């Protein structure tokens, strides 16, 4: 049966083709912009001081003055949490160099670093080539950090096998929110939804609100922040491999950490980490963490 629908004219077909080509071109441009944002964030983190989320996005700024005493059972005394090949907290890979990552959950540079290197770090852990030491701190003065720290503390204690996935997902969520500049999404409900997507059980997620309200893991947050300051560090992320601080400008590719691990055997080195005297590397050129935290708060 013949159709009564008229065939598009030549001009209409050309217009449709142009529209389709424009849509494909715009999608490609969006993908390229996202990739550039990640690369620039890491490069910028090498020279920008501790301003993190305070630059361009005012995050959930209400101060939480309550400090609970809960401390994750798997955390070390300095607030760090280690991961080995099983990808569960409190484990390590014997004889492998330690990759220390100091971060603030409200730092978009930290989120960019984590997003870029999640798969690479997972592979290095499974292959037994590194032990990962997550070192959370609160240097930007943002309540979003308290929200995630309390959620992470609860997950570490109640369902530790999902902790690393939850950590990565929390950073992925923050990257998404930061790039959209929609601070209204920095809520417990958004984090709870993200937790569910990583396999955290409903009963644990249901406890997020009370845990955050009580700031149950506030002592853990304060401990990690104290460790950051005691080591004389100035910005996040700060990444150490086998005790040596890595230059963030060298970590802007998805294989950069693997190359750094490979370089250990060849005697390659980065910037010596600050010593016990609290003196930070002169070439960093950054302001102190204390003053930057005050400015961002």
Q: Please tell me the predicted confidence (pLDDT) of residue 121.
A: 99
For residue 132, list its beta bridge partners.
Answer: 83, 99
3-state secondary structure at position 249: helix
Distances in Å between the Cα of 129 and the Cα atoms of 45, 92, 254, 259 are 26, 10, 16, 12
81: helix, strand or coil? strand
Cβ atoms within 10 Å, residue 20: 10
Burial class for 194, CB neighbours closer than 10 Å (0-12, 13-18, 19+): buried
H/E stretch holding 240: strand 238-241
Report pLDDT for 280: 34
Name the token pair of 196.
């569910």
Q: Tell me the pLDDT of the chain (297 aa) as tens digits.
A: 444 556 667 676 666 666 665 666 665 555 555 545 444 544 444 433 343 444 444 444 445 556 778 999 999 999 999 999 999 999 999 999 999 999 999 999 999 999 999 999 999 999 999 999 999 999 999 999 999 999 999 999 999 999 999 999 999 999 999 999 999 999 999 999 999 999 999 999 999 999 999 999 999 999 999 999 999 999 999 999 999 999 999 999 999 999 999 999 766 555 566 654 433 333 333 322 332 333 333
Residue 62's pLDDT is 47
Token readout for 251 is 């970590």
Note whether 38 and 248 are within 8 A (CB). no
216 is written with which tokens?
């149950």
Neighbours of 201 (CB within 10 A): 14
As a whole number of angstroms, the distance between CA 34 and CA 25 comes to: 14
Please report the DSSP string for 159-207 in residue order.
-GGGHHHHHHHHHHHHHHHHHHT-GGG-SHHHHHHHHHHTT--HHHHHT
The β-bridge relationship of strands 98-103 and 238-241 is antiparallel
Break the chain into its structural domains and give their ranges. 31-59, 81-260
Distances (CA, A) of 135 to 73, 99, 116, 229: 15, 10, 18, 12
Domain 81-260 has CATH 3.40.30.10: yes
The DSSP result for 3-14, as a single string, is: --SPPPPHHHHH
CA–CA separation, 250 and 259 (whole Å) = 10
Give the pLDDT of residue 25: 61
Would you state the pLDDT for residue 67?
Answer: 73
Cα–Cα dist 192/36, whole Å: 29
pTM over 0.85: no
Asked if 139 and 286 count as a contact pair (C-beta separation under 8 A), the reply is no
d(CA 240, CA 98): 8
- Identify whether the C-beta of residue 153 lies closer than 8 Å to the C-beta of residue 70: yes
pLDDT of residue 68: 72
């Amino acid at each position: 049966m013949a159709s009564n629908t008229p065939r598009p004219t030549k001009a209409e077909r050309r217009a449709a083709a142009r529209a389709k080509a424009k849509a494909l071109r715009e999608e490609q441009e969006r993908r390229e912009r996202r990739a550039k944002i990640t690369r620039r964030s890491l490069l910028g983190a090498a020279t920008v001081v501790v301003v993190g989320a305070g630059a361009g996005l005012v995050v959930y700024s209400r101060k939480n003055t309550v400090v609970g005493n809960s401390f994750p059972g798997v955390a070390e005394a300095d607030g760090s949490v280690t991961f080995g090949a099983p990808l569960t907290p409190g484990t390590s890979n014997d004889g492998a160099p330690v990759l220390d990552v100091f971060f603030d959950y409200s730092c978009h540079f930290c989120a960019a670093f984590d997003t870029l290197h999640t798969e690479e770090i997972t592979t290095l852990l499974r292959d037994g080539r590194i032990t990962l030491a997550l070192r959370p701190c609160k240097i930007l003065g943002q309540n979003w950090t308290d929200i995630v720290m309390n959620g992470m503390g609860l997950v570490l204690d109640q369902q530790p096998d999902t902790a690393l996935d939850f950590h990565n997902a929390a950073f992925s969520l923050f990257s998404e929110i930061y790039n959209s500049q929609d601070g209204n999404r920095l809520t417990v409900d958004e984090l709870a939804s993200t937790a569910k997507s990583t396999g955290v059980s409903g009963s644990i997620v249901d406890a997020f609100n009370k845990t955050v309200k009580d700031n149950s893991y506030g002592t853990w947050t304060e401990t990690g922040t104290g460790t950051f300051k005691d080591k004389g560090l100035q910005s996040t992320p700060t990444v150490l491999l086998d005790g040596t601080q890595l230059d963030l400008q060298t970590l802007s590719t998805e294989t950069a950490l693997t190359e750094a691990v490979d370089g250990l055997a060849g005697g390659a080195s980065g910037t010596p980490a600050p010593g016990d005297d609290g003196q930070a590397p002169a070439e960093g050129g950054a302001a102190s963490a204390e003053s930057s935290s005050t400015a961002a708060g």
